[in-house]
Amino acid sequence: MYGWLASPTLHCAQSPVPRYAIKMESGNITLFTEFILLGFSDYPELEIFLFVIVSIIYAVTLFGNISILALTCLDSHLHTPMYFFLSNLSFLNICYTTTVVPKMLINFLAKKKTISSPLCIGQVYITLFLGAAECLLLAEMAFDRYVAICNPLHYTTIMSKNVCISIALGTWTTSFFVSVVPTLLMWLPLCGSNVIDHLFCEVPVMLQLVCGDTSANEAMMFVGSTFTLMLPFVLILLSYVRIIVTIMSITSADGKRKAFSTCSSHITVVTIYYGTGMFMYMRPKTSYSANRDKLISVFYSVINPMLNPIIYSLRNKDVKEALMKVMGKTKMPQGVKKSFLRGNLQAF
pLDDT band, very low/low/confident/very high, at 71 (cuts 50, 70, 90) = confident
Instruction: Answer whether residue 16 is part of any domain.
Output: no
pLDDT, mean over the chain: 77
Which residue in 124, 295, 278 sits closest to 210, CA to CA? 124
Instruction: Answer whether residue 25 is part of any domain.
Output: no
For residue 78, the model assigns a pLDDT of 81
Query: Which 3 state secondary structure label does DSSP give 19?
Result: strand
pLDDT band, very low/low/confident/very high, at 15 (cuts 50, 70, 90) = very low
Query: Residue 183 — φ and ψ, nearest 5°?
Result: -70, -35
Count of the separate structural domains present in the chain: 1
pLDDT band, very low/low/confident/very high, at 3 (cuts 50, 70, 90) = very low
User: Rounded mean pLDDT of 180-197?
Assistant: 71
> Strand 195-196 and strand 34-37: pairing?
parallel
Instruction: State the Cα angle at 119 between 135 and 29, rounded to 5°.
Output: 110
Instruction: Answer whether residue 1 is part of any domain.
Output: no
More confident call, 211 vs 7: 211
Region of poorest pLDDT, from 136-150, 156-170, 280-294: 280-294
Calpha distance 138→267 (Å, rounded): 9
pLDDT above 60: residue 346: no
User: Rounded mean pLDDT of 129-149?
Assistant: 90
- Cα distances (Å, whole numbers) of residue 64 to 18, 76, 115, 165, 229: 40, 19, 28, 23, 26
User: Rounded mean pLDDT of 87-91?
Assistant: 93
User: Rounded mean pLDDT of 24-50?
Assistant: 73
First to last CA, the chain: 44
The percent of residues in the chain predicted with pLDDT above 90, rounded, is 21
- How many residues are given for the chain? 348
Q: Which residues of 160-171 are buried (b: 16+ CB within 10 A; e: fewer)?
A: eeeebeebbeeb
For residue 345, the model assigns a pLDDT of 38
pLDDT above 60: residue 4: no
E strand or H helix at 35: strand 34-37
Which residue in 96, 140, 91, 129 sits closest to 270, CA to CA? 140
Instruction: Answer whether residue 68 is part of any domain.
Output: yes
pLDDT tens per residue across span 274-290: 777 776 666 665 556 67
CATH number of the domain enclosing 90: 1.20.1070.10
- CA 130 centroid distance within chain: 6
Write down the H helix ranges in the chain. Answer: 44-74, 81-109, 117-150, 155-158, 161-175, 181-184, 203-207, 215-225, 231-248, 253-281, 290-298, 304-309, 317-328, 334-347
Q: What is the DSSP letter of 302?
A: I
Instruction: Answer whether residue 342 is part of any domain.
Output: no
User: Rounded mean pLDDT of 51-67?
Assistant: 93
Which range, 7-21, 91-105, 201-215, 276-290, has the best average confidence (pLDDT)? 91-105
Query: Which 3 state secondary structure label does DSSP give 201?
Result: coil
Domain that holds residue 259: 41-101+130-189+213-315
Residues linked to residue 20 through DSSP beta bridges, in sequence order:
31
pLDDT tens per residue across span 198-249: 889 887 777 777 776 667 666 776 777 777 778 888 899 999 899 888 888 8
pLDDT band, very low/low/confident/very high, at 265 (cuts 50, 70, 90) = confident
More confident call, 319 vs 195: 195
- CA 3 centroid distance within chain: 24
Instruction: Answer whether residue 348 is part of any domain.
Output: no
Instruction: Answer whether residue 51 is part of any domain.
Output: yes
